[in-house]
Structure 1
Amino acid sequence: MDLDLFLHQLHFQNDLVTPPNWEVDWDDAPLPYKVYRHLPEYQLPYDIPLAIQDQSFHPTPDLNNIGYFLWYVYGLTQFNQTAFPSSTKEESAETMQGFRRYPPSGGGLYPSELYVYLKLEDLPHGIYHYDVAHHRLLLLRKGHFDSYLTSALGNSSTLSNCFGAVIITTMFWKNFFKYHNFSYRLQGLDAGALLGQLLEVSKRCGFHPKIHFQFLDQAVNHLLGIDGKEESTYAVIPLSGEKIAFDEILSKSTATHLSNTIPKIQTTHEQRSQTVLPFPEITQLHQETLLEAIELVRQLEAREEKIECKVHIALPAVRKKLSENFAHACQNRYSPEMDFRAQRMDQIQLASLLKESMDSYGYTNDLDKEENQKQRVSIYGCFYQIDGIPNGAYRYDAASHSLLLIKEGDFRFSLQAGMSLHNVNLHQVPVCLHIVGERTHHKGELGYRGYRIQHMEAGMLLQRTLLTASALGMNGHPLLGFDTIGCDDIYELEGSQKTTIIQVPIGFHRAKSWLVGGMHG
């Protein structure tokens, strides 16, 4: 298989990566969460705080604090049921129901799973799986794994200085069964949205995370007891009560050598599907992303982005609405679909949306040096009837908190025509944002791993944007079924080797017609 062609089609011609006769077998769908069998259980508290403000918890947490943290990051938060007209002549309606979490997921399928390494006084030290279905921890391995994980990260973060770590994985079949090969694009965005939520919750808890996109994959998978084929690690995030230092990579470990230092564990889990189809293209691409040796870890150099623009529109200073009521923003975030209603947005609201969304780009990671953190994905947008701003296509410049005009005009007709599924009326929204990144997805430095890392960073920015919109009394609907080439043309991106990654219409909306209830203890 030509991997470069596959990624090109995945991004620009995604109808070519899914068979035309592909049918979804909903009767044999997998569970949206992993359920282990026969493991020691540790129940987490159900009395979740209704509000969670900055520095709410002590930086050295106990089991209750970890329970609150995990629930806000990835717990089941709401049950919903939506009625649709029956496809038959009978009067009864058809219903669809599901469980929601605060981070969004394509189709509500949640391919990501969450594991934690914890060293708490009121819990055996070890590796746990967060059992979302029952809000509890299941012990996979008992013991201290500071040295093991530190080596797997190339000694660039020292786990002995942390109270634990979060490990995010992807289970490929959980959304391949619906989206076929297109699921690979969704999996990176889903993991990124989860990371974005984790960063925001960490701020409220007083935790200091450091996100590692690069690590010895086989070694981390071996630690968790997963095979790397059905499920594999996408990110490792050490957690500390203090800022985690940037260390030079000194380790010479290999994944094979490190895996041999601890025994293999055997586990059983339920996924419900009786038939699991192979996904050879995703398997081959995933194999090309794996790191066997720490010497393959790379940092990214800063790149000057030169933008020629004659019109700069300075935006007003704003308050941070998301910081004022984070829990409320989480609880009210959802994707409105056809519930958007035409209502003008003022310049203060737009400035708040853009600034607070981009302020998330100060997170600690393994791609940057501490003194040289940089923005790899950015926000562009088509705006209509914003007070004091001409209709047109813009780039948001976070450094100067201003808009750079690319083209004047009303682009709603072009954007609507470019949608593959007309489930959102773009004529009802004043703002259609696009998250933009490198067209080459940093392949020169990061290889094929760069594609999923770029989508994870886009997902992180997406989640911050959705939460900020919710805090402002609006909501956004993430879309991947749009004309990427057409959007790149609107923003004149091809010459700068940039491309649009995801489309997010944002605006005011009516209440959704559904039955929804909170799952709050």
Structure 2
Amino acid sequence: MDIHTLQHKKRYGKFDTGPYGLEKYADSQALIYHENSKLDRFLARRYGIGLARFDTDYFRQRSQRPYKVYPGAKRVSLTEYQLLGPPSQADYFTLLGNRRSERIYTPYDLSLRELFVLCHYTYGISRYEQLGEEEKVGFRYAPSGGGLYPLELYVALLAGDVELGLYHYRPDVEALERLKSGDFRSEVARIVPGAPFVDMDNCSAVFLVTSVAERAMLKYGDRGYRWILMETGAIAQNTGLSALALGLGSCLVGGFLDDEVNRFLGINGVSETVQKCIVIGKPADDDQDN
């Protein structure tokens, strides 16, 4: 326990008012991390000096290839759907007003175009810009600290027009990499235990968002983890609004079993670990065709 932690506990003791009893959470690792990753004027100045070391051509070029690749995995191309444009002309503010957590679904097979829309507008590349004479940088639909894009997107497809299984989204080539085939509904329902509050029996897919910590923390240190969490929230909103535009519904499940999800994805849970699970399906009270 360092001096910052002691100061943290003393400070929280002063604010132990109201029904929540904040002092009881003074030993919370989350709050201790938050306290230890704060900046003041001095730390912000030192922080800026450290960031300047990364202002090199090599680092910029290296950091602009944040794409995980599974060599040998069979790809399902989504490129043909790029030409079709957005799925609807739904007004952004209308979508925001209608957004809600859908918990009950009707059996529904996701089409490839729907998978494209969900993946592309969640964490796909929105535009390219030139970096130097040769490099082109791909920017995404979500803000990312330093443009480092530390997240990866996986899809557990449980009902669809293509082979069921676990897929990894490749935004750089606009494709899904099939990591393993099969009906994993029962396993996904076990490790992402949404029931009885979320209908895991009839949902069409579960989006699994992971973070590769070193991409952000290499440059931003401990504070980089804050950027990771903010970015995770941003793309979750993208997923929800994209689903709504397709006439689908979504629901976040926070009680997933971290290590078991990581094993299902085939990642080590340290350098890459799951951050968020998003259930996708056709709302049971919606008969609209897509």
Q: What band does the TM-score fall into relative to the shorter chain?
A: 0.7 to 0.9
CA RMSD, Structure 1 to Structure 2 (Å):
3.0
Larger Rg: 1
Q: Conserved in 1, the CA contact under 8 Å of 2:247 and 2:282?
A: yes
Q: Distance in 1 between matches of 2:247 and 2:35?
A: 43
| Aligned CA distance change for structure 1 residues 419 and 362 (closer, same or farther; 3 Å) | closer
1:456 corresponding residue in structure 2: 230
Equivalent in 92, 102, 105 of residue 326 of structure 1:
92
Q: Secondary structure at the match of 2:201?
A: helix
Question: Do residues 314 (structure 1) and 77 (structure 2) align?
Answer: yes
* CA positional deviation for 1:489: 1.6
Q: Secondary structure at the match of 2:253?
A: coil
Q: Return the letter of the residue paired with 2:207.
A: L
Q: Conserved in 2, the CA contact under 8 Å of 1:479 and 1:502?
A: yes
Q: Return the letter of the residue paired with 2:123.
A: M
Q: Return the letter of the residue paired with 1:343.
A: Y
Q: Return the letter of the residue paired with 1:376.
A: P
Q: Conserved in 2, the CA contact under 8 Å of 1:319 and 1:352?
A: no
Equivalent in 140, 165, 183 of residue 362 of structure 1:
140
| Aligned CA distance change for structure 1 residues 330 and 350 (closer, same or farther; 3 Å) | same
Q: Return the letter of the residue paired with 2:188.
A: L
Q: Distance in 1 between matches of 2:116 and 2:218?
A: 35
Q: Conserved in 2, the CA contact under 8 Å of 1:443 and 1:450?
A: yes
1:276 corresponding residue in structure 2: 21
Q: Conserved in 2, the CA contact under 8 Å of 1:322 and 1:329?
A: no
1:372-451 paired onto structure 2 within 5 Å: 373-387=147-161, 389-420=162-193, 422=195, 423-439=197-213, 442-451=216-225
2:45 corresponding residue in structure 1: 294
Higher RCO, 1 vs 2 (CA within 8 Å, ≥6 residues apart): 2
Q: Return the letter of the residue paired with 1:352.
A: V
Aligned residues: 240
| Aligned CA distance change for structure 1 residues 273 and 367 (closer, same or farther; 3 Å) | same
Q: Conserved in 2, the CA contact under 8 Å of 1:313 and 1:404?
A: yes
Equivalent in 207, 218, 241 of residue 467 of structure 1:
241
Q: Distance in 2 between matches of 1:385 and 1:364?
A: 27
* CA positional deviation for 1:365: 6.3
* CA positional deviation for 1:326: 1.6
Q: Conserved in 2, the CA contact under 8 Å of 1:322 and 1:467?
A: no
Q: Conserved in 2, the CA contact under 8 Å of 1:380 and 1:394?
A: yes
1:477 corresponding residue in structure 2: 251
Q: Distance in 1 between matches of 2:192 and 2:217?
A: 28
Q: Conserved in 1, the CA contact under 8 Å of 2:262 and 2:269?
A: no
What TM-score comes out, normalization by structure 1 length? 0.42
Q: Distance in 2 between matches of 1:294 and 1:500?
A: 33
Equivalent in 336, 351, 354 of residue 102 of structure 2:
336
Q: Return the letter of the residue paired with 1:276.
A: G
| Aligned CA distance change for structure 1 residues 502 and 365 (closer, same or farther; 3 Å) | closer
Q: Return the letter of the residue paired with 1:326.
A: Y
Mark the runs of 5 or more structure 1 residues left unpaired by the alignment: 3-227, 231-271, 513-521
Q: Secondary structure at the match of 1:468?
A: helix
Q: Distance in 1 between matches of 2:73 and 2:284?
A: 38
* CA positional deviation for 1:325: 2.5
Q: Distance in 2 between matches of 1:323 and 1:374?
A: 31
Q: Secondary structure at the match of 2:235?
A: helix
Q: Return the letter of the residue paired with 2:33.
A: L
Q: Return the letter of the residue paired with 1:310.
A: A
Mark the runs of 5 or more structure 2 residues left unpaired by the alignment: 3-10, 127-138
1:203-282 paired onto structure 2 within 5 Å: 273-274=18-19, 276-278=21-23, 279-280=25-26, 281=28, 282=30
2:6 corresponding residue in structure 1: none
Cα deviations across residues 346-380 of structure 1 (Å, max 9, x unaligned)?
12111111112224653796832xxxx34321210
- State, as a whole percentage, how many aligned pairs show the same letter: 20
* CA positional deviation for 1:456: 0.7
Q: Return the letter of the residue paired with 1:289.
A: S
Equivalent in 345, 352, 375 of residue 117 of structure 2:
352
Q: Conserved in 2, the CA contact under 8 Å of 1:392 and 1:409?
A: yes
| Aligned CA distance change for structure 1 residues 375 and 442 (closer, same or farther; 3 Å) | closer
| Aligned CA distance change for structure 1 residues 322 and 462 (closer, same or farther; 3 Å) | farther
The structure with the largest helix share of the pair is 2
What TM-score comes out, normalization by structure 2 length? 0.72
| Aligned CA distance change for structure 1 residues 322 and 440 (closer, same or farther; 3 Å) | farther
Cα deviations across residues 471-509 of structure 1 (Å, max 9, x unaligned)?
111111011101221221222122993211111010111
